[in-house]
Amino acid sequence: MVTGAGRGIGAAVTRRLASEGAVVAAVDRDGEAVEEMARELATDGLKVYPFAADVSLGAQVEGVIDEVERRLGPVEHLVNAAGVLRLGSARSLSDEDWRDTFAVNTTGVFLMSRAVVNRMIPRNSGAVVTIASNAAGTARADMSAYAASKAAALAFTKCLGLEVARFGIRCNVVAPGSTETPMLMGMFQDENGPRKTIEGQLETYKTGIPLRKLAMPEDIADAVAFLLSDQAGHITMQHLTVDGGATLGV
């Protein structure tokens, strides 16, 4: 099961997992987007099934997981990729900006993880990967709500991993940096945005990207696929930063 599967990183993760033979339940609040994505992947012979649900609403979360398991079988892997971004200085953010950001980025991770893991426990197996951000551990101007919500999601996922390790369930985090998605493109004010991001911005104390390129969604999907795989069978409560060196390995 992949949330936020309609576009960006969630869509790339969905394609990657399906290309490896997984049957993927693609969940997104935007039902039309996830249905279109599933139709496109179906033309390539991939088994992707769309489901519309708002991860910030507990009743919808429980309902969609019940539907997925009834139609497709037990959920073995969960990828929390749904996310929203509200830009603005910490002093100017509205109450709504703060609530909406945490509702999806943090509460959504909690609701989905709790519901799926409670179903994994009787089976004594499973894996969860939460998509956080390198901003979860590095201050970013005008991103306080996003950074705080991702830091909370990161901490929650690690704590959950500790609690359920005895059931053979692994919980890890992938922390992307600047990735070529609609969310990032929406932050740019002009065509110079990608170049400025790569070079860094002294006025906001933001380092550039040592690898001299933005990440592609597929780069993040590769990391997720690894952490879900048997190759990562002894890895849990870890976070893997995929940012081209933008946070200097800290």
Catalytic residues: 146
Handedness of CA 89, 94, 95, 99 (dihedral sign): negative
Cα(177)–Cα(143) distance, rounded to whole angstroms? 13
* 3-class DSSP assignment, residue 180: coil
Beta carbons within 8 Å of 23's beta carbon, 6+ residues apart? 47, 49, 72, 73
Contact 130, 80 (CB under 8 A): yes
Phi first, then psi: give them for residue 78, nearest 5 degrees.
-125, 130
Contact 171, 112 (CB under 8 A): no
Amino acid, single-letter form, for residue 121? I
Contact 9, 176 (CB under 8 A): yes
Closest CA to 134 of 102, 198, 105, 177: 177
Amino acid, single-letter form, for residue 69? E
Contact 9, 181 (CB under 8 A): yes
Closest CA to 144 of 97, 194, 205: 97
| 88 DSSP assignment | B
Look-up: residue for tokens 């409670």?
118
| 143 DSSP assignment | B
